[in-house]
Amino acid sequence: MRLSKLAAVIVATISFSGLTACGGGSNSSGPAPTPTPTPTGPSWQPGVFASASSLEAKCESPRTGIDPFTGQQYPDGAGSSLEEKLWLRSWTNETYLWYDEVDDNNPANYSVLGYFDQLKTTATTPSGTPKDNFHFYQPTDEYNELTQSGVASGYGFDWEFVRNTSPRELVVRFAEPGSPADLAGIPRGASVKLVNGIDFVNTNSSTDIDALNDALFPADNGTTTSFVFELVNGDELAVDVTSADVQVSPVQHVQVLDTPAGRTGYFQFNTFIRTAQYDLIDAFDGFIDENVTELVIDLRYNGGGLLALASQLSYMVAGPAQTNNAYFETLQFNDKSPNRDPVTGNVIQPTPFYSNEIDYNAGRLLSAVLPSLSLTRVFVLTTGSSCSASESVINALRGIDVEVVQIGSTTCGKPYGFYPTDNCGTTYFSIQFQGINYKGFGDYADGFIPTETPNYGYEVPGCAVDDDFSHPLGDPAEGMLSTALAYAETGSCPQPVNPAPVSPDAVNAQSSESSLAIENPFTLKERLILQNKINEPIVTEQE
């Protein structure tokens, strides 16, 4: 809801006149003083906040022309970096979930992006980790390209950053289908040893590190890099790979397995983006045709995305009877907005279990009904990269008493979300809401934990299992999937159960301070897509 514009300019005019005496003598006390210029724009006053709407789109470097993603004129007007910072400050004060935990620092001491970086809480969770680990920004054109088209430039590797300082370890999780990495035949579990002849594992030369970063993550298409990998069987694979545009395939390895527990569906689901909707529909149509009675959803590398798509997936699992008169999730905003969404201005309404297809471009529910399996139990495979909307699926299904069995390791812990907000060409992501399921539970800031004997709401029945890089994803012998299949048959974890490993993200957090660390440019990408619960309102009237 837009607020009225705040008057930002105050003009004061001061006149001075000299006095002249007769006979040529002067009673003037000297030249008139130069008046102090009155500010002609907004300024920072501690504790005083203009409305964000009065400051938006006032840009130091305004964009011009037509936005190719919206087809509309860019909204930018001439402004200043101070106005951009004051907009961030007011927008945070109005919409940030923990606005009252943000220090009101002078924006003059920061760049625009540096100022945004510190507009967040410094509080921690019960485990001692930062409460807000998801505060970031991205150039708007890059964000739109990635989220709307599903196209990114690169080789097509999805990497596991096991260790980014010497001795380094970078392992292939999987290659996007049809990508340069896939066409080169580089399998899951391959570990990087040499890059353009440089010892990736051991070098401690800053020049080498710069060259490695440039080669591993090229800025442009058409960059050819020579790799030497060590495969899981100990063999070496030397291959040249050329960067290109890579189409993201969110749904992979859809299959039906004959198991002692019955016909079991499996699919790898990597990201909740718009293009995934019809891939999910095709998968569930196939599961219905194949009379699937058990389902394994591989969310180990999926940290979230569109909340509405998570709702659709949950409906396709649970079906109409279990979701009837229940909701997928409701959102809680800051205490300034107990009943009304501070971003849209709408009265807060729970997100339903969407049972229909959605036109995501128009934000409208369609008439076509989604397929559904109407399962009372579902298996989810997770790691520390399972985040946000993936966690919402777990939480929402548990909220309607669908039995969720978690296999793998603790999820990332993000019951929070935000509305990506563009101002002056940068899209900002600042936590604005927390998701609560139908039973009122949403306290899993330290993640969902697979546990054989759960005692707390964030502990989920299941088994702690390592991510197994020695088998392809979807292979019934792969560690997590084989454990899920065994649990489906026996109702308990097979013994012995491997302990879940330390999250690679935790390793990187400790080692990335070194100037000799391999950079992980996918961090922002993962936060944009994988660690993002995006709430895009859907018009529920059917067409």
Measured between alpha carbons, how far is 358 from 308 in angstroms, rounded to an integer?
A: 9
Q: Is the CB of residue 410 less than 8 Å from the CB of residue 519?
A: no
Q: Residue 87 has what pLDDT?
A: 98
Q: Is the CB of residue 310 less than 8 Å from the CB of residue 352?
A: no
At 412, the amino acid letter reads C
Question: Measured between alpha carbons, how far is residue 386 from residues 116, 269, 446, 529 in Å?
Answer: 26, 10, 12, 11
- How far apart are the two ends of the chain, measured CA to CA in Å? 26
Q: Is the CB of residue 292 less than 8 Å from the CB of residue 267?
A: no
- The DSSP output letter for 155 is -
Measured between alpha carbons, how far is 481 from 340 in angstroms, rounded to an integer?
A: 43
Measured between alpha carbons, how far is 215 from 502 in angstroms, rounded to an integer?
A: 28
Number of Cα atoms under 13 Å in the Cβ half of residue 119: 30
Which residues on neighbouring strands pair with residue 339, listed in sequence order? none
At 218, the amino acid letter reads P
Helix axes 307-323, 276-289, angle to 10 degrees: 30
Segment 515-518 long-range contacts (CB within 8 Å, at least 24 positions apart): 515/206, 515/209, 516/165, 516/166, 516/204, 516/206, 516/209, 517/164, 517/165, 517/209, 518/161, 518/164, 518/165, 518/168, 518/170, 518/209, 518/212, 518/213, 518/216
Q: Residue 361 has what pLDDT?
A: 86
> Nearest to residue 216, comparing CAs of 244, 183, 243, 177?
243
Query: What are phi and psi for residue 279, nearest 5 degrees?
Result: -65, -40
Q: Residue 174 has what pLDDT?
A: 97
> Nearest to residue 102, comparing CAs of 118, 82, 81?
118
**What are 371's two structure tokens?**
């397929």
The per-residue pLDDT for range 81-120, each reduced to its tens digit, is 999 999 999 999 999 999 999 999 999 999 999 999 999 9
**What are 340's two structure tokens?**
């009304």
> Nearest to residue 147, comparing CAs of 244, 248, 75?
248
Rounded to a whole number, what is the largest CA-CA distance in the chain? 119
- The DSSP output letter for 539 is B
Site of tokens 């798509």: 309
The per-residue pLDDT for range 34-60, each reduced to its tens digit, is 555 555 678 999 999 999 999 999 999
Q: Residue 34 has what pLDDT?
A: 58
Q: Residue 303 has what pLDDT?
A: 76
Q: Residue 134 has what pLDDT?
A: 82
Query: What are phi and psi for residue 455, nearest 5 degrees?
Result: -125, -20
Phi/psi class of residue 93: alpha, beta or left (left: φ > 0; alpha: ψ in -120 to 50)? alpha
Strand-strand pairing, 459-464 and 449-451: parallel
Q: Is the CB of residue 360 less than 8 Å from the CB of residue 306?
A: yes
The per-residue pLDDT for range 428-474, each reduced to its tens digit, is 999 999 999 999 999 998 999 999 999 999 999 999 999 999 999 99
CA 60 to chain centre: 28
Q: Is the CB of residue 221 less than 8 Å from the CB of residue 153?
A: yes
Q: Which residue positions in the chain have pLDDT lower than 50? A: 1-28, 497-514, 524, 529-531, 542-543
> Nearest to residue 148, comparing CAs of 540, 536, 431?
536
Phi/psi class of residue 276: alpha, beta or left (left: φ > 0; alpha: ψ in -120 to 50)? alpha
CA angle 395, 398, 400 (to 5 degrees): 115
- The DSSP output letter for 81 is H
